[in-house]
Amino acid sequence: MNASASNNFDVIVVGGGMVGATLAAALGGSGLKTAVVETGEQPTAVAVDADFDLRISSLNLAAVRLLSDIGAWPLIPEARRCAFRRIEAWDEHDRGGIHFDAQELDLPEFGYFVENRLLSHAVWQRLEALLNVSLFTATGPVALRTDSDQAELELSSGEALTAGLVVGADGATSTIRDLARIETVDHDYQQRALIINVTTRLPQQDVSWQRFTADGPQAMLPLPGHRASLVWYGTPEQTRELEQLDDAALKEAIERDFPPRLGGIDSVLGRGSFPIRRRHARRYVTERVALVGDAAHVIHPLAGQGLNLGLQDAATLATELTAAKARGGDPGDRHVLSRYARRRRPQVQAMIAATEGFHRLFTGPAPLRLAGNVALGLADRLTLGKRLMMRIALGLVPN
Ligand SMILES: Cc1cc2nc3c(=O)[nH]c(=O)nc-3n(C[C@H](O)[C@H](O)[C@H](O)COP(=O)(O)OP(=O)(O)OC[C@H]3O[C@@H](n4cnc5c(N)ncnc54)[C@H](O)[C@@H]3O)c2cc1C
C-alpha cells in the first residue's frame, strides 16, 4: 500500500462523532496535519424550531469550557440548550432526597443539556474552517498496519493514509480497537434505557432529577420551556412493553409511575430505547494507536458522564500531542501515548467505580437497596458524602 504525499498525516482520527471531531478541532492550532475518517456523512444543520432529538447529553462545565476553547459552543443556539442549576435524587419511595444547588459551589450552573446532533454539527463547522484538518466521510478503515515508524490505514474507499498516530474514536464497537487487537472487559447490565421526549404542564427549566428504583433509575432532564427528556431504565422486557404503547397509554404510564414532581404530561413527542452496557479497553494505547471516548470506555449512563469522560480524553490527548509537536517530537512516540493513558485511565476507573456503586446500591438485593436509600438520605446531611456525590455529578471523580 502506498500513500501519496497528500495522504500522509501526523494524526488520523477514525470516527468523527462528538469525541473524535472535538479532538481534531482541538488539534487545530497545533500545526499537526490531521485527518478525520468517518463512516457517516457530515452532520447537517438543524432548524432552530425543529423538534428536539431523543439523543441528548448532559455536559459538565469542563466539557463546555473545552467546546468554547475550540469555538464550537457559541455555534449551538441558546434556544436549544438548557442550563441546569439543581440536581435532586430520591429513593423509590420518594424518600431520602439529596439536593444539590450550583449556588452552594458558587457556580452559575452545573452544566447544560444539549442534543448530540447539534453538538456534532457545531464541532464539524469548526473542522471545516481548519486548514490543517482533512475530512474523509462515508468511508472507514479496512486494514491497519503499524511499525515503529508509522501507521498505515487502508480505507473502504480504496484510499491509503499514513500517519504517526491513528486514534480510534469510532465508538463502542471500535474497528480500530479490533484492528489493533486491544481486548475489552464487557458487562451487560440486562437493562435498557427508554428515552421519552415530552411536553410537560410544569416548566422544568433548571432542575434535573432522578429517582432510584429496584428496576433502575427514572430521570428527568430539562429541555428549554415546557419540554423534558425522560429516561426510564428497566429490564429489556419491561422497556419493550413500554416502548410499544401508543402515545396516550405511554403518557398514562409515565403519569402513574414517575414521581409526582414531574406534574402532568401534555404530549409524548418521541421515544426510543438503548441497551446498557459497560465496556472497558484493557489498554488505551498500543504501537502508534490511541483510543478515546466510547472506543476506550462505555459506562452506565445513570450519572450522564460517558461523553464528558470522552471529551476529557480528547482534551488530554490534544494537550500531549500539541506539546510533543512543540518539542519537535513524534505524535506517535510511545512516551507521549503512555503519558496520555496514565493521565486518563485512573479518572475513568474512578468514574466506573462510582457509577457501578450507584447501580449496585439501588438495583442489588433488598438489604443493599435499603443501605442505598439510607445512604442517600444521610449523604444529604453529611457534608463529605454530599461533596463526593456533587463531584461525581460535576465529572470531578474522587482521586
Ligand atoms: C441512553 C444514553 C444516555 C447518555 N447520556 C449521556 C449524558 O447525559 N452525558 C454524557 O456525558 N454521556 C451520555 N451518554 C454517553 C454518550 O452518549 C457517549 O459516551 C458518547 O456518545 C460517546 O461519543 P464518541 O464520539 O466516543 O462515540 P460515538 O458517539 O459512538 O461516535 C463514534 C463515531 O464514529 C463513527 N464510526 C463508527 N465506526 C467507524 C469506523 N469503522 N470508521 C469510521 N468511523 C466510524 C460513527 O459514525 C460515529 O460518528 C449516554 C449514553 C446512552 C446510551
pLDDT at 367: 57
Is the alpha carbon torsion for 70, 72, 9, 348 positive or negative? Answer: positive
Ligand 1 neighbours by CB, cut-off 6 Å: 14-20, 37-40, 57-58, 140-141, 169-171, 175, 193, 274, 293-294, 301, 304-308, 310
The torsion angles phi and psi of 186, rounded to 5 degrees, stand at: -115, 150
pLDDT at 104: 83
Q: Write out the residue range of the structural domain in which residue 27 sits.
A: 5-50+118-186+279-357
Tell how far the Cα of 201 is from the centroid of ligand 1, in angstroms: 32
Alpha helices in 8-108 (DSSP H): 18-26, 61-69
Task: Among 36, 39, 156, 233, say which to mutate for ligand 1: greatest number of ligand atoms within 8 Å of CB.
Answer: 39
Beta strands, E only, 169-305:
184-200, 207-213, 216-222, 227-234, 265-281, 285-286, 289-291, 297-298
In a domain, 297, yes or no: yes
Task: Among 18, 53, 317, say which to mutate for ligand 1: greatest number of ligand atoms within 8 Å of CB.
Answer: 18
In a domain, 137, yes or no: yes
Is the alpha carbon torsion for 118, 120, 125, 126 positive or negative? Answer: positive
Task: Among 82, 121, 170, say which to mutate for ligand 1: greatest number of ligand atoms within 8 Å of CB.
Answer: 170
In a domain, 284, yes or no: yes
Q: Is 226 exposed, middle or buried (0-12, 13-18, 19+ CB in 10 A)?
A: middle
C-alpha cell read off for 367: 438489604
Is pTM beyond 0.85 here? yes
In a domain, 289, yes or no: yes
Tell how far the Cα of 248 is from the centroid of ligand 1, in angstroms: 31
In a domain, 341, yes or no: yes
In a domain, 323, yes or no: yes
For residue 225, CA distances in Å to 81, 205, 258 come to: 11, 6, 20
pLDDT at 114: 97
Q: In CATH, what number is assigned to the domain containing residue 312? A: 3.50.50.60
pLDDT (tens, 9 = 90+) of the chain, 399 residues, equals 456 668 999 999 999 999 999 999 999 989 999 999 999 999 999 998 899 999 999 999 999 999 999 999 999 999 999 999 998 888 777 665 778 888 888 889 999 999 999 999 999 999 999 999 999 999 999 999 999 999 999 999 999 999 999 999 999 999 999 999 999 999 999 999 999 999 999 886 799 988 888 888 899 999 998 999 999 999 999 999 999 999 999 999 999 998 888 888 999 999 999 999 999 999 999 999 999 999 999 999 988 899 999 999 999 999 999 999 999 999 999 999 999 999 999 999 999 998 887 777 666 665 555 555 555 555 555 565 666 666 666 665 544
In a domain, 21, yes or no: yes
Domain total of the chain: 1
Residue identifier of the C-alpha nearest atom 3 of ligand 1: 301
Tell how far the Cα of 17 is from the centroid of ligand 1, in angstroms: 6
In a domain, 233, yes or no: no
